[in-house]
Structure 1
């Protein structure tokens, strides 16, 4: 077994570990028997048996009806929701004896041992003329819940390839994906899972091992039968936003927190808890899921859950339409009186409100114990008397605070955090998901910052006196308190709103945005000191950028002057602005001062031009708008977020963010630090990588690169180096600081391109750089004088007689010729395989040769000869196919007979054609398939002799497998 191989070290290990914990393995043949054909995914017999076991009132006909309904559901996310509703026991069938509809249970979630768990591998699914083979499929009670795509541990881009295959399965065989709820990708080192019908890379969730790497522990914890049932039934959410249905599955930190919140709700002694999950880590879904589980569970005896959210969030569609995530019995408290009446009337279900509606609420409005209050942004919503009113009104309620920011130094030992954290000493957190952990998981991104030039910054003395030294804003947690403090800072506000200054900043922003942000495909915020400043910024920015580039989003006031009223938007207009901003269209810049600085999630937002003094919680919440991961359609990922500070507030981070250093570790990095890191990387690269090109140019340089990086570990290390370098270039370009390094970076891109072409998928080279490099980086390196040092790409062409001669007679070195031929053969086969399946044996031989060469089992001379022969055969077989004019089926059989040494194989073409014409439906009809197989076997035995029966049987099976593909 090859070390780290896909089948041996990954696939078979998963089956072994899952078998250890109670999953029963089914061979592909056994699974196919239960599936009743390759066009079905349900294990039909097992599925029906389990329905009858779990639903004593149902008859066989009822179970058959469920099967028929599942087979007819649409092959899209809406159909997948229907399948999930069946798994949740929410769907019904009519039972004649009962004369009524009865809910069907497909799973027993209370006693997992009443379910049967199966895993199978190499599951082939056929949809029309498309066939896909899934590496591993997991079933509960015969219902497919999860598929895994595995890759060999040594494959550098294995996970990316696996993810691309998952995407392809959704397009090519969606009927199977209409039932499957989850997918995973793994290459032994990492294990990621996500929801089917959600193909965004940012929603891939890493299932983590706690300390040192242990693949067995990782698999056994994820596939623990209780865990899988909970993930499928409790932690999948179907969400409707802007009339589009989407699907998510909770991340590990969300699952962990939900479990702790529900456990705290059960606890008769502990009635408080604080959950800190950093901004951007999905706190809303955590709250909603915990609320759902409490409301659905009989053990809480028809409870009430009160969700207290931010006023901005209350306006969001998600909170106005919680039924879209499966929550029924939802009431939004429209006023203080409405909330009070709901509590006095002892309403059971979910109440959504704001904390402010508890103001002046009487004591003991409801003393029931099974009331559970979830408070979003607890660090600010329970400040002052509001928390006191809440706790007095509901004295026996369990109250859980959720926050996106850590405890600041001013609140140690007092205030909100002690109120919520009293049951969880010494740190006061029921659950914590820190900024650093979030960045490591890829849930959020790092944020870089830079200070504007001194001439644009306000006076330091005024900033200190009128803002930073104010005691009342230490640990400020809401923007209203901040605004009140700023309203008194007359001199500071006048400085910030100076029209000449704003004009110069607008000029700077327009240039910076066009050169730094727009070429990356991202968007920006301008945060002005107040609403009037927003209007001034818009007026100034329109002088340097087209007016449609930007929009002002501010709150309305009836007494506003005309210059502000022009930016008043209706709710529908503002909703449209928000939606368009999140997409790849105008507006590209939003000018704000208060709105959208909390609760607004736009992953495409990259840069924040900060011209409003902020600190502590308010600052952390605002800058977190830029930390959301984003990936465009070409697979380019947002490298980080960026803050450009025009106030000088970030000049002293300790004062701007007065939190424990460990809690905000990694949140902000000065661009000057990034420049220093780039300089170090460049020095390292010159020694380790550019030195291999010393004294070599052109083809010799290519040969050296290909030979040095045949070592997998070296290649992987270079890829990591280049990707880190590329991310920094993406951020810093077009800073003049980069000028001394442009030529070196251009050389690294050439090396990267050559290696990707030579060692990865054939569809690379220039295309990979087209996809991976932003326009501003392409522009930066366009003129770098590196053409004479090393070429940009290998010669990869589709092989025919002319191109083969050209490749073999070129002046390239033998090493380069090997890779030119290898990738050209791969390109030719891949492009024509679907219409010319007789190329499959040649594809398999090419794969074997590639592996042998990479593992140094063949030297360059041997490989060149082998590839020459293989390429000649590709040309020969395709030429003969065109000349003979036979059907694909007949030619494939003829060619394989010829390869087996059958003389005059062509004489039997009519007989072969006749067999296939007689059994035209062989691919979709099992009976016809068997007859075709018998006829071909007879023909082969007549030609080769009965003593070769084993060889004949294997060959016929191989031919039919090839033609099915």
Structure 2
């Protein structure tokens, strides 16, 4: 059996494993019957029945259930509606019960008793949204509601995951009234298995289940991912909706976040243990983990209506957390406005969530709340509970459970040891759960960082740095940017030197040039971190002399007594929110944020690539700041961010051991000099020169192309080269322009041309130029004057005549094969919708390509088969011209497609014509067969009879193939 079949190798096994895991398979025809039409998303009868079963005394009859169904169908077809659909699944919605004369909670599923739910799966799920029609591969239903869609691709499709992801994005655009109910999606082509949340379509939010679950075959991956109990838990407990700068976003938690949540809940239920430390690196979703834990604590009946305190140490974080809680939909949230207010809330035995800054516990009386069901979640625990504040906090709540969260490694100082002592006493290793920087990089949650020291004449005076910054005793293990600021306020010589107008002017000129050459061409954005608020203003004014003023913006805290030149840059909340939103979006201004304190913690902008650092920092503060640039990012055009860059103007990275007071094993791999990338580029280029460039050595033109195409007919070889070139290209993207690259440039261009040749030949469905990153695309356009494989012009007609010309061209056989296959693919793509008979020709061409790549046939045999295919194409074109009335007869084109499918499967022309004539009448009689199940059944009968009449043995398989082909033409 061929492994290139998507259905046989991937889709059918997935369905089999799903049923073995506990889902009931429903054939497409039966699913359509249960849905009552292609424009209906629910298994209607199942949903109506389950609504009554799960809501006794609330949904007491079918009419009431139908009312709920109408409400679900009326949801807004966007992310706002998707959140409302999720609230229905969570049981957060109500319905008015006349008998009780009040609203009662409505349950669409029961996560506590999985056996009371009904789990269905179907495939080839056709959904019609207005004039548009999609066909999803596999859809999963709980109680008749679609909750998960999986797109499968053939195991041999190199770009299968990318293509499947594009389909998911297309479904959101073309069938939002279906996607409004779906909460999760997955993508697989056997080897890889990715998943994500619907309405969250950034590539960075696509997670690799194979990596997260560990090793295992396809069966293990599918059954573990689709275990009904697990799917229910993810749907109801691990999806979050939140607003970020006013925009609604959606996330599904990753396994390390789920693991930490479960461990905290277990600790909260353990009467013998009252402490725990969650050590999850910056950028790994720590805030969402905290919010999920808070929600689960409140919802768990075991905790008997608890109080959950969320403690932060900065006013900005307090406001962010409070806004997040409101956006997520918490109903009982109290923001402690003052020390007195916090004391009143605790003394009044307030339940629900209380958000407070740590300093509001100052002088708090002991034993203010002695209940055991009080849970304190402390953000940035490495700096929040130091000194007396921690004692007041724990003294006021003597029986509470305290869970600390930190995103930075625990430092070697007494301060760091104190964090372990405060929160880690109940665990031998000192923490309840750990997700290290190294793990986050391996998982793709964060990207590695590289630094580059600025030219010597721009780096801060080393003596002043040594005397006034490095020697400051209070900076040992510093955990708060305010401590850094206090030291810098006293470091008069250093701060005056940093803000020297001549130095600021030089650095601004350097930043402007560097940004235009390195950062902007990649489509990314930057932070410029100034020594203080006044420094931000000085840099803004200097930068405006080199860049358009709208490219940059200052974001600083406002002070009541600020002088006029600072007040000019005060922003209202709305203005700052708009700037933060625009900064996250490619192509919009501002492109550079000038900051000193604000946005250095808690601000997440994946498009941020470069940080120009001109403020002395160290330890936790430094790690938190540079973590702003470690978020992965991929644009809709495929632009990938694989690292973050820090350009250092103060010399901090001259001595990393000194700058980061952490164990080397914790920060290893976090940040490396740009020289490491240069060494890697040189190493990769050596590999390219020794492994790949010699393949076509001594050959030119078409002979070189033939040698390369022949060598890379082996799929594993191609994939290895693609992987090699992508890494090489990513490093080139970061380093360019640089004099270091000059000796490598010619060979790099040759490798890029080789990559283009292979992609254009073996993957004709992928736009080659779009697969290049921006800087490589530029040099390819500038220096690749001719392509080794025929690059068609859009100025002439694609058709059999042009293909015959290619067939007779003076070129090596291997090159001819790929030129013909490429042009046949373009022909089918361009005209398959208007002339669907071409789709069957495309299928034959694809089969020739597969056999040729797998060396089942050689180039001469492939050319003979392509010659025959082109002859048939020319005959089809000629007959279509002779039958000039096809366009005038509504169903003649479909009949002509049937005729040519049969002729391509070795049915004599006159017999194929007989079937076509019969089917033209059938298509006219049953014009809605694609959407009407009854008409499809009648049409099938006609086709069965017509195929029997010409002695076809397997009429069912042939009928399915022909009707699938016609559907594809409609979907094209």
Q: Distance in 1 between matches of 2:316 and 2:219?
A: 42
Q: Distance in 2 between matches of 1:667 and 1:244?
A: 31
The equivalent position to 1:919 in structure 2, one of 912, 916, 926, is 926
Cα shift readout 1:874-907 (whole Å, capped 9, x = no counterpart) = 3443454355232463233245346343639779
Partner of 1:234: 237
Q: Note the 1:353-432 alignment, pairs <5 A.
A: 353-411=356-414, 414-426=417-429, 428-432=430-434
* Residue 142 of structure 2 is aligned to residue 140 of structure 1: yes
Cα shift readout 1:334-368 (whole Å, capped 9, x = no counterpart) = 22222111111111111122112112222122111
Stretch of structure 1 that moved more, 400-409 or 794-803 = 794-803
TM-superposed CA distance for 1:255, in Å, is: 1.2
Q: Distance in 2 between matches of 1:936 and 1:613?
A: 78
SS at 2:951 equivalent = helix
SS at 1:120 equivalent = strand
Stretch of structure 1 that moved more, 183-192 or 343-352 = 183-192
TM-superposed CA distance for 1:232, in Å, is: 0.5
Q: Distance in 1 between matches of 2:919 and 2:451?
A: 71
* Residue 281 of structure 2 is aligned to residue 278 of structure 1: yes
Partner of 1:812: 811
SS at 1:824 equivalent = helix
The equivalent position to 1:108 in structure 2, one of 85, 89, 110, is 110
Q: Distance in 1 between matches of 2:623 and 2:264?
A: 25
Closer, same or farther: CA 793–735 of 1 in aligned 2, 3 Å? farther
State whether residues 895 and 920 of structure 2, in contact with CA within 8 Å, keep that contact through their aligned partners in structure 1: no
SS at 1:830 equivalent = helix
Q: Distance in 1 between matches of 2:676 and 2:918?
A: 75
Partner of 1:963: 966
Partner of 1:196: 198
Cα shift readout 1:230-286 (whole Å, capped 9, x = no counterpart) = 100111112234443332211111111111122222121111111111111111111
Closer, same or farther: CA 891–783 of 1 in aligned 2, 3 Å? closer
Q: Distance in 1 between matches of 2:61 and 2:914?
A: 58
* Residue 849 of structure 2 is aligned to residue 850 of structure 1: yes
Q: Distance in 2 between matches of 1:160 and 1:530?
A: 44
The equivalent position to 2:573 in structure 1, one of 540, 557, 571, is 571
Q: Note the 1:150-165 alignment, pairs <5 A.
A: 150-165=152-167
Stretch of structure 1 that moved more, 124-133 or 617-626 = 124-133
Partner of 2:64: 62
TM-superposed CA distance for 1:851, in Å, is: 1.6
TM-superposed CA distance for 1:827, in Å, is: 1.5
Q: Note the 1:2-151 alignment, pairs <5 A.
A: 2-3=2-3, 6-57=6-57, 58-128=60-130, 130-151=132-153
Stretch of structure 1 that moved more, 373-382 or 5-14 = 5-14
Q: Distance in 1 between matches of 2:7 and 2:911?
A: 40
TM-superposed CA distance for 1:383, in Å, is: 1.9
Partner of 1:749: 752
Cα shift readout 1:67-110 (whole Å, capped 9, x = no counterpart) = 33333434332332232222112233444555544333221111
Closer, same or farther: CA 595–948 of 1 in aligned 2, 3 Å? same
Q: Distance in 2 between matches of 1:597 and 1:896?
A: 64
State whether residues 124 and 131 of structure 1, in contact with CA within 8 Å, keep that contact through their aligned partners in structure 2: yes
Stretch of structure 1 that moved more, 793-802 or 97-106 = 793-802
Cα shift readout 1:535-582 (whole Å, capped 9, x = no counterpart) = 222222222222222222222223333332322223332222222222
Partner of 1:903: 910
SS at 1:149 equivalent = strand
Q: Note the 1:416-565 alignment, pairs <5 A.
A: 416-426=419-429, 428-565=430-567
Stretch of structure 1 that moved more, 58-67 or 290-299 = 58-67
Cα shift readout 1:899-944 (whole Å, capped 9, x = no counterpart) = 3436397799887555444433333333344444445556x37xx7
Q: Distance in 2 between matches of 1:484 and 1:409?
A: 23
State whether residues 380 and 405 of structure 2, in contact with CA within 8 Å, keep that contact through their aligned partners in structure 1: yes
TM-superposed CA distance for 1:816, in Å, is: 1.2
State whether residues 382 and 416 of structure 2, in contact with CA within 8 Å, keep that contact through their aligned partners in structure 1: no
* Residue 788 of structure 2 is aligned to residue 791 of structure 1: yes
Closer, same or farther: CA 454–856 of 1 in aligned 2, 3 Å? same
Stretch of structure 1 that moved more, 202-211 or 848-857 = 202-211
TM-superposed CA distance for 1:309, in Å, is: 2.7
State whether residues 709 and 758 of structure 2, in contact with CA within 8 Å, keep that contact through their aligned partners in structure 1: yes
Q: Distance in 1 between matches of 2:399 and 2:937?
A: 71
Q: Distance in 1 between matches of 2:438 and 2:927?
A: 61
Stretch of structure 1 that moved more, 708-717 or 219-228 = 219-228
Q: Note the 1:228-267 alignment, pairs <5 A.
A: 228-267=231-270
Partner of 2:820: 821
Stretch of structure 1 that moved more, 584-593 or 431-440 = 584-593
Q: Distance in 2 between matches of 1:81 and 1:881?
A: 52
Cα shift readout 1:368-406 (whole Å, capped 9, x = no counterpart) = 111111111111122222111111111111111111101
TM-superposed CA distance for 1:825, in Å, is: 0.9
Q: Distance in 2 between matches of 1:367 and 1:526?
A: 48
SS at 1:841 equivalent = helix
State whether residues 803 and 823 of structure 2, in contact with CA within 8 Å, keep that contact through their aligned partners in structure 1: no
SS at 1:603 equivalent = coil
TM-score (norm 1): 0.94
TM-superposed CA distance for 1:744, in Å, is: 1.0
TM-superposed CA distance for 1:330, in Å, is: 1.3
State whether residues 305 and 349 of structure 1, in contact with CA within 8 Å, keep that contact through their aligned partners in structure 2: yes
State whether residues 796 and 820 of structure 1, in contact with CA within 8 Å, keep that contact through their aligned partners in structure 2: no
State whether residues 750 and 792 of structure 1, in contact with CA within 8 Å, keep that contact through their aligned partners in structure 2: no
Partner of 1:666: 669
In structure 2, runs of 5+ residues without a counterpart are: none
Q: Distance in 1 between matches of 2:836 and 2:896?
A: 13
State whether residues 752 and 780 of structure 2, in contact with CA within 8 Å, keep that contact through their aligned partners in structure 1: no
State whether residues 548 and 586 of structure 1, in contact with CA within 8 Å, keep that contact through their aligned partners in structure 2: yes
Closer, same or farther: CA 931–458 of 1 in aligned 2, 3 Å? closer
In structure 1, runs of 5+ residues without a counterpart are: none
SS at 2:249 equivalent = strand
Closer, same or farther: CA 6–924 of 1 in aligned 2, 3 Å? closer
State whether residues 141 and 148 of structure 2, in contact with CA within 8 Å, keep that contact through their aligned partners in structure 1: yes
Stretch of structure 1 that moved more, 919-928 or 791-800 = 791-800
Q: Distance in 2 between matches of 1:484 and 1:267?
A: 42
SS at 1:306 equivalent = strand
TM-score (norm 2): 0.93
Closer, same or farther: CA 337–819 of 1 in aligned 2, 3 Å? same
State whether residues 800 and 873 of structure 2, in contact with CA within 8 Å, keep that contact through their aligned partners in structure 1: no
TM-superposed CA distance for 1:144, in Å, is: 2.0
Q: Distance in 2 between matches of 1:312 and 1:2?
A: 62
The equivalent position to 2:338 in structure 1, one of 335, 338, 355, is 335
* Residue 726 of structure 2 is aligned to residue 727 of structure 1: no
